Structure 1
Amino acid sequence: MSPPSREQALPRLVVDSPDQLQGQVFVLADQPMTVGRDSECQIHVGDPGVSRRHAVVWRSGGHTTVEDLASTNGTRLNGHPVLGQQELHTGDVLDFGPFEVHYEEPRDTAVTVPGVGAAGLTATVAGVQPPGRQAPAPPLPSQPPRPQWPQPSQQAPSPSHPAPPPPARPAQPERPQPAAGHRFDVEQQQAGNLSNVAGNQYNYVMQARRDSFFREIAATRTRARHLVMAGFLLLVIGGGVYGWALVSFIVHTNNAAQSANPDFSVPDLLGPKVGGVPVGALGFAAAAIGGVLLIVGIVLHVVTTSRRRRFEEEESRRLNVPPPPR
């Protein structure tokens, strides 16, 4: 029996739904893994119900943690919304919108018991030797080294003038051994704000949340600009058509009145009809829709700018740095 591979000894996320991805496995190493529709995400999901950067899952120090990145549909752990950072255990079910996975941790593979017919694979548990083999005899103690007497050519130091003792070195504090992965010892630091103390966990989550927020803000501002441009064009074109219909009515009525023809007919107020609908009515409807779109786009742009400014002010207050210039 071959020893377990490194991937088999690591925890994993197994996809439960959608059906076309069921059974797919994502191995969790000691690095953050982002779930989302963005092509840069380590767990890329092309479902529109999943945000661009939906959540982040990482493993560090033997613990696996999940945190939602302000996603639209949210992240659920065993049916409950994920608020902040929450630790995962074997069998937990995660819902990233329509994308569902469950978490698995491998069993302890530190001790491997050989199967029937396995040659050369033995394990020692608590100092007990496997049956069928005798413990090797302890090695014979080596001969103590013989003392080396000074040669005649070497002159021993005079006992009247003993050599001065070496200067005492200050005791160095015991330094913790670096663990696998990120180091948590930061030596000596003096600063107003200490960040990145435990590797890239907290900073990565905050940076991912910040990037997700600014992507959402940029997308909203783009939609607002499109609404403003479309509304302005509809307002100008529709207003022009409606104004042309009114001016045509006034001109034709004035000409008919000045012609002194008793059989003149009054033209339509809203101009000629297209498909049974007056042209002036179509222009008025287009202008009204354009005005609504223009107002919605302006309001959306103002709200987006206010949200961005408030986020930057809160961030500068938390980090104790001056806010960016407006």
Structure 2
Amino acid sequence: MDNYTVKSPVLFLIFNRPDTTAQVFNKIREVKPSILYLAADGARANLPDEELRCKQARKIINQIDWECEVKTLFRTENQGCRLAVSSAITWFFEQEEEGIILEDDCLPSTSFFHFCDEMLKRYRYDTRVRHISGTNLQSQQQWAEASYYFHESTIIWGWASWRRVWKDYDSELTRYTLPEVESRINKIFDDQFLAQQWLEIFKALKQKQIDTWDYQLAFLNYFNHGLSISPNRNLVSNIGFRPDATHTPDPNNQFANLKTSELGQLIHPKYILPEKQIDYNIFAKEFKLEERSKKHYSIRRRFKRWIKGK
């Protein structure tokens, strides 16, 4: 898809990687958003060379060479991943009803912007739908005949949403307690090992052991029985899997640098129902569920044999 001009406002989240920032920016430049938001966290005081890299990344603003309203939120001090990203998205949705969010390591195809524009418009008032992703982690496996499918997880490597959704965001998940979630987690996940994994994540978030913002978004989607949209072809590649990454340091990760393609003519699904197997496939790989299951049942079998031998 050539010469497409994106209709939605775009939020570009940058930090300390001028090289990946430049690559993603060049894709944004191709679609020429009329409104571009730039948000950047401040450098960490204990990393002397980081301030220079942050300054280099922020210079990307000087390369905006099309007619565009530019708004910036450049932090002078480091707030960390959880607060810096979530507050930037809040800032964005305080000014926009809907829009597209890209981080500095999420390299989109041109179709990504067209896809987000169309999905934002089509499901603008459908409160069942809360999240739009440009990433397909199914090894390009096709699900039915449509151009996209519904599921329940929130993949944030290039995504879009509405103010109506983000207004519920709470990085502390203050409305939810561990006993409540523990009693309900099996209503969300059928697999006991997957349910336990997400319960451990919830505990870690409540105890502030994880400096992130996206698990909270995922929980809110689950707790509200929300639907996410993902394309049947991958439209965004995460190019940030490398040693200097905060959460994706392994360049050999199965989800690193996935190939992207163009989507073609949009075909809409006939049924608005979640493909639960899709999410399970992703989590089975990410959380090694098969290995955990084998280990669990192996221990149970050994225990039963030990009991019988008593």
TM-score interval (norm. to shorter): under 0.3
Q: TM-score normalized by structure 2?
A: 0.19
Task: Select the structure of larger CA radius of gyration.
Answer: 1
More helix by share: 2
TM-score by length of 1: 0.18
